[in-house]
């Protein structure tokens, strides 16, 4: 049985444990009384907050139950926010507005005091939950944009998008990529580009963090980032580096198609990187396990959650097999999910959080920090449509409510003009304000934890979704585990089938899309599209710079590449060799040479 099978067993066992506790609470009077006492104490110690009109409300809402069995079902089955199995939230207070002395009064440890770097909610008091996503043209252009975007931010939380050639690990001078240089993201070929990209930012500062949305060549890009930081701040900066790199190979193979080495080699290079960063850079999140792209490629919500979680467990199994302690890597895993409009989203992330916690605790032996499912949510880009596009504002607003009902740690709201182009400032602003209206202006989430949790409908969705996710796990297990299922293209074909069904439903009208197949007025307006394309002159500049770099380092590059190859062929961790190689080699030189040794990824259809 693979670890995934053990996870299924662990969840089943835990569910049985909960039922046993319910029975015990009812039959064992002493136990029942203890639970009731704890319950009453929690309620009585819950601070009271006041709405702007003066209405008093508790900061934590709990169901009106006093029967010990039901109390047991709640405390063990769901857990208070911030308590195992974390159904109601990874942390105690999430988005509540500042108030007095909740931590002191309850006497509980405030998880926020744990200084772990990324997930927004942990640091929400110190840092904005906003990440400023950008990537355009050449490194200096993105750098300028980063400075503009973060000028008024306390913290500098930069999120980097890369152009197509970089995502595929090829150089700007490669055949046929002219025209794509700097499109949709920044062009990075060398460590010198990486130095330019974050120029002027203090990479070792505790209020700086960098996020890099790249997976296929992630270990090489990670090495470039470290090398660039060392060039600017010396070797002592390395343990201080904070940020996230996506590095999610499984979802690339399942959905996003940006894989450059065969799967096993990709996973090996990833593990090499994770072994290095979790040891040397304890504030760096070396992988963001992403369901968003699986959802965008057309999966059902259940498939999205099931594949993302099972990918996560497969990574955990792999890292543990390499000998990395679970409490070293566990707390540095984070997740990224989509939130659309289907009913499943009412509880999808809640259930995911619970399954992750149980699996990590009981199948992997992770401690409390390694049990947390730290989640970034993005509203669904796929749910947005071009026809009568202003309706997308409403779609995104509804998705935001669902995302926060699930107690996501942070959230990105899409711009209504996304079906057309890279979002324009006008619509980005509206999207960001949507979040502020929900969290700051409205009283839905700022006064009381659990404000919208625990309705009979939500519970029904939780049960159905959990069962469906476990069924998917069993199917993957039956196919021999995640890696075998991926190689069998199981997840891919499931996602494609779901995508096709979705299109069919739109076409035959069983899935209503307002303005498209229902209530269409036919007068589609189109947002004013202002495109930023990389001028040919700039693209040529990137090519010329690269040529200069290659010429300057020609001799050294050969030696460095030979060394990387030797290390890979000996089966050792290649990350230190990559760190040396990026000083003198371009991204394309390294991937090209590695592909000679381990092969190229064979695309799946």
Residues that bind another protein (CB under 8 A): 163-165, 167-168, 170, 175-180, 183-184, 252, 256-258, 262, 265, 296-298, 385-387, 418-421, 487-488, 496, 499-500, 503, 507, 516, 524, 529, 531, 533, 597-605
Compute the distance between CA of residue 526 and CA of residue 357 in angstroms, rounded to an integer: 45
Closest CA to 85 of 350, 463, 377: 350
Q: Closer to another protein at the Cβ: 83 or 163?
A: 163
Q: Closer to another protein at the Cβ: 96 or 416?
A: 416
CA 162, 298, 350, 483 torsion-angle sign: negative
Q: Closer to another protein at the Cβ: 350 or 593?
A: 593
The first and second tokens of residue 603, run together, are 């695309």
Q: Closer to another protein at the Cβ: 150 or 379?
A: 379
Q: How far is the CB of 267 from another protein (least distance, A)?
A: 14
Q: How far is the CB of 604 from another protein (least distance, A)?
A: 7
Yes or no: say if 187 and 172 are a contact pair by the CB < 8 Å rule.
Answer: yes
Q: Closer to another protein at the Cβ: 49 or 422?
A: 422
Compute the distance between CA of residue 407 and CA of residue 37 in angstroms, rounded to an integer: 27
Compute the distance between CA of residue 242 and CA of residue 247 in angstroms, rounded to an integer: 15
Q: How far is the CB of 477 from another protein (least distance, A)?
A: 14
Neighbouring-strand partners of residue 518? 514
DSSP 8-state secondary structure symbol assigned to residue 440: I
Yes or no: say if 262 and 599 are a contact pair by the CB < 8 Å rule.
Answer: yes
Q: Closer to another protein at the Cβ: 297 or 449?
A: 297
Q: How far is the CB of 384 from another protein (least distance, A)?
A: 10
Compute the distance between CA of residue 203 and CA of residue 228 in angstroms, rounded to an integer: 10
DSSP string, 549-566: HHHHHHHHHHHHHHHHHH
Compute the distance between CA of residue 392 and CA of residue 341 in angstroms, rounded to an integer: 12
Compute the distance between CA of residue 310 and CA of residue 334 in angstroms, rounded to an integer: 14
Q: How many other CB atoms are found less than 10 A from the CB of residue 531?
A: 8
Q: Closer to another protein at the Cβ: 179 or 365?
A: 179
Yes or no: say if 275 and 232 are a contact pair by the CB < 8 Å rule.
Answer: no
The first and second tokens of residue 323, run together, are 């000998």
Collapse the DSSP code of 427 into the 3-class scheme (helix H, G, I; strand E, B; otherwise coil) and give the result. Answer: helix
Q: Closer to another protein at the Cβ: 530 or 548?
A: 530
Closest CA to 587 of 193, 140, 231, 286: 193
Q: How many other CB atoms are found less than 10 A from the CB of residue 148?
A: 11
Q: Closer to another protein at the Cβ: 503 or 572?
A: 503
Q: How far is the CB of 303 from another protein (least distance, A)?
A: 14
Q: How far is the CB of 433 from another protein (least distance, A)?
A: 22
Q: Closer to another protein at the Cβ: 272 or 388?
A: 388
Q: Closer to another protein at the Cβ: 72 or 174?
A: 174
**Surface-to-core class of residue 113, CB atoms within 10 Å of its CB (0-12 exposed, 13-18 middle, 19+ buried):** exposed
Compute the distance between CA of residue 462 and CA of residue 262 in angstroms, rounded to an integer: 37
Alpha carbons within 13 angstroms on the beta-carbon side of residue 2 total 22
Yes or no: say if 263 and 603 are a contact pair by the CB < 8 Å rule.
Answer: no
Collapse the DSSP code of 218 into the 3-class scheme (helix H, G, I; strand E, B; otherwise coil) and give the result. Answer: helix
Cα–Cα distances in Å, from 546 out to 96, 193, 267, 536? 49, 9, 29, 15
E strands in 309-405 = 333-339, 375-379
Collapse the DSSP code of 50 into the 3-class scheme (helix H, G, I; strand E, B; otherwise coil) and give the result. Answer: strand
Compute the distance between CA of residue 148 and CA of residue 167 in angstroms, rounded to an integer: 25
Q: How far is the CB of 412 from another protein (least distance, A)?
A: 19
Q: Closer to another protein at the Cβ: 32 or 165?
A: 165
Q: Closer to another protein at the Cβ: 437 or 529?
A: 529
Q: How far is the CB of 62 from another protein (least distance, A)?
A: 43
Per-residue burial over 405-432, b if 16 or more Cβ lie within 10 Å, else e, is bbbbbbbbbbbbbbbbebbbeebbebbe
Q: Closer to another protein at the Cβ: 11 or 564?
A: 564
Q: How far is the CB of 64 from another protein (least distance, A)?
A: 46
Residue reference for tokens 């963001």: 288
DSSP 8-state secondary structure symbol assigned to residue 183: S
The first and second tokens of residue 577, run together, are 């060799």
Q: How far is the CB of 417 from another protein (least distance, A)?
A: 8
Q: Closer to another protein at the Cβ: 89 or 182?
A: 182
Closest CA to 260 of 214, 299, 291, 222: 214
Q: Closer to another protein at the Cβ: 58 or 419?
A: 419
Q: How far is the CB of 353 from another protein (least distance, A)?
A: 28
> Which parts of 28-85 fold into alpha helices (H)?
29-45, 68-77
């Amino acid at each position: 049985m693979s670890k995934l099978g053990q996870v299924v067993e662990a969840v089943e066992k835990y569910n049985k444990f909960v039922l046993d506790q319910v029975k015990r609470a009812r039959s064992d009077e002493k136990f029942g009384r203890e639970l009731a006492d704890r319950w009453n104490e929690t309620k009585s110690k819950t601070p009271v907050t006041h709405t702007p009109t003066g209405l008093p409300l508790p900061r934590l809402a709990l169901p009106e139950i006093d029967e010990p069995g039901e109390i047991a079902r709640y405390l063990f089955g769901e857990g208070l926010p911030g308590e195992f199995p974390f159904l109601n939230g990874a942390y105690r207070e999430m988005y509540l507005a500042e108030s007095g002395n909740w931590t002191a009064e309850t006497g509980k440890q405030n998880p926020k005091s744990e200084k772990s770097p990324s997930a927004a909610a942990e640091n929400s008091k110190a840092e904005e939950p906003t990440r400023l996503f950008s990537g355009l043209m050449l490194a200096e252009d993105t750098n300028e944009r980063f400075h503009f975007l973060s000028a008024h931010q306390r913290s500098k939380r930069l999120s980097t998008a890369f152009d197509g050639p970089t995502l595929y690990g090829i150089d700007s001078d490669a055949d046929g990529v002219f025209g794509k240089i700097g499109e949709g993201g920044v062009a990075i070929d060398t460590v010198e580009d990486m130095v330019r990209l974050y120029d002027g930012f203090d990479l070792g500062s505790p209020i700086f963090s960098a996020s890099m949305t790249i997976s296929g060549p992630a270990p090489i890009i990670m090495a470039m980032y470290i090398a660039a930081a060392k060039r600017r701040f010396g070797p002592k900066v390395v343990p201080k580096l904070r940020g996230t790199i996506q590095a999610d190979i499984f979802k690339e193979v399942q959905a996003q198609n940006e894989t450059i080495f065969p799967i096993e080699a990709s996973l090996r290079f990833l593990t090499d990187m994770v072994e290095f960063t979790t040891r040397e850079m304890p504030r760096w999140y070396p992988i963001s396990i992403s369901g968003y792209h699986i959802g965008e490629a057309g999966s059902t919500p259940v498939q999205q959650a099931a594949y993302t979680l099972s990918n996560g467990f497969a990574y955990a199994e792999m890292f543990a097999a390499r000998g990395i302690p679970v409490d070293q890597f566990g707390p540095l895993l984070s997740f990224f999910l989509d939130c659309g409009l289907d009913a499943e989203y009412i509880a999808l992330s809640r259930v995911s959080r619970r399954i992750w916690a149980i699996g990590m605790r009981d199948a992997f032996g992770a401690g409390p920090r390694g049990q947390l499912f730290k989640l970034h949510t993005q509203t669904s880009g796929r749910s947005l449509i071009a026809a009568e596009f202003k309706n997308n504002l409403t779609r995104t607003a509804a998705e935001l409510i669902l995302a926060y009902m699930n107690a996501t740690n942070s959230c990105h709201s899409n711009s209504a003009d996304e079906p057309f182009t890279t979002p324009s400032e006008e619509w980005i602003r509206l999207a960001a304000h949507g979040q502020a209206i929900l969290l700051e202006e409205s009283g839905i989430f700022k006064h009381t934890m659990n404000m919208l949790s625990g309705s009979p409908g939500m519970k029904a969705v939780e049960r159905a979704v959990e069962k469906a996710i476990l069924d998917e796990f069993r199917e993957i297990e039956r196919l021999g585990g995640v890696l075998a299922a991926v190689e069998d293209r199981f997840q891919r074909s499931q996602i494609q089938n779901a995508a096709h069904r979705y299109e069919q439903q739109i076409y035959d009208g069983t899935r209503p899309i307002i303005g498209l197949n229902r209530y269409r007025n036919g007068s589609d307006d189109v947002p004013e599209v202002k495109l930023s394309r990389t001028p040919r002159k700039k693209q040529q500049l990137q090519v010329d710079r690269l040529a200069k770099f290659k010429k300057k380092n020609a001799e050294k590059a050969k030696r460095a590449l030979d060394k990387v190859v030797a290390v890979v062929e000996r089966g050792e961790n290649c990350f230190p060799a990559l760190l040396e190689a990026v000083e003198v080699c371009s991204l394309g030189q390294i991937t090209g040479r590695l592909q000679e040794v381990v092969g190229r990824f064979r695309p799946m259809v």
